[in-house]
Amino acid sequence: MVSAAISVEHVSKRFGAVHAVDDVTFDVEPGTIVALLGPNGAGKTTLISMILGLSQPTHGSVRVFGHRPRDRAARERLGVMLQHVTLPQSVKVKELLAWFRSFYPHPLPTDHLLQMAGIEHLAEREAVRLSGGEQRRLQFALAMAGDPALLVLDEPTTGMDVESRRAFWNSLRSFVHDGRRTLLLTTHHLEEAESVADRVILLKGGRVIADGSLSKIKAQAGNRYVSFIAGPRCTKEEIEQLPYVRSVRYSGRHVRIQTDRPDDVLRAIILRDLDASSFEVSQGALEDAFVALTELDDRLEERGVTR
């Protein structure tokens, strides 16, 4: 039986009276790409630190490929790119890569790492003299040095411009989509998570409030959208009096209605003979689901309901 790449069993972490992580349980199967998302203070960083063995749970257990995170057998299969990293002084890029490669039994070639991170031209430069975006790409190469079976990326594109972010994700896709590697990532750029993840785990207040495929998360949020072009005789009052409307966004004459009953909204538009055309029904983006599910959890907390 193949061990889960990551196994988190009833894990809690307390700092005094604060529950940073509260009874979290999930497994990550080998070969999957999982986005760990949540608002600031949700417990993402604390949870990742326990998965990496940087801190210990107050309760529960964490395993990486069946081993404790601090075991050598786990560390040899792990690559990590953290959000806040200090690079050593007076060390060239290629020297730093050589040092990291020495930690692993089967490292990737230096030239391959430089090419994959798009920093071939920076090999002779001191690491601390790189720009913020270049340093992040170097950190990506360092995370890949051991040819990891599990890659953990914490806000990997922080400090990168749009072009660098696009190049980073293209490199990452080519690296992980062979089915041999597992990826756990956090990011505030939800469109990035949506473009690469097989599965989303949504944390809030240290608890898992949603877990599943992208389609499942979107369906759980219940967000559907009816979009159309409003003609000159179509008024905001008519639109906002339609049934089952949660919210409406206007962009010039373009109207986007959020609803959990799109068929009924369309039927009402037709029966009421609204001046509208170019209809489209769509499911919301991951960002829409993220907002909807966190707001739902807020409302449940206000009512004293636990999920």
Give how far Cα 206 sits from Cα of 92, 139, 240, 269, 302, Å: 40, 28, 37, 42, 17
Residue that wins the pLDDT comparison between 188 and 106: 106
**pLDDT grade, residue 288 (50/70/90)?**
confident
Report yes or no: 253 and 229 within 8 Å, Cβ to Cβ: yes
Q: Which residue segments constitute the domains of the chain, with CATH numbers given?
A: 6-218 (3.40.50.300), 224-283 (3.30.70.980)
pLDDT tens across 29-82, in order?
999 999 999 888 889 999 999 999 999 999 999 999 999 999 999 999 999 999
Q: Residue holding tokens 């995170």? A: 69
Cα–Cα dist 124/120, whole Å: 9
Q: What is the pLDDT of residue 7?
A: 97
Predicted local confidence at residue 306, as pLDDT: 54
Burial class (CB in 10 A: 0-12, 13-18, 19+), 245: middle
Would you say residue 294 has pLDDT above 90?
no
Q: Where are the beta strands (DSSP E) in 150-295?
A: 150-154, 182-186, 199-204, 207-213, 224-230, 247-251, 254-259, 276-283
Average pLDDT, the chain: 89
pLDDT one-digit tens code per residue, 206-233: 999 889 888 788 777 667 889 999 999 9
Q: How would you classify the pairing of strands 182-186 and 33-37? A: parallel
Give the residue-averaged pLDDT of 146-151: 95
What global pTM score does this model have? 0.78
pLDDT average, residue stretch 116-144: 93
The DSSP secondary-structure symbol of 10 reads E
Is residue 127 within 8 A of residue 88, CB to CB? The reply is: yes
**Is the confidence at residue 155, as pLDDT, over 80?**
yes
CB 168, CB 160: distance < 8 Å? yes
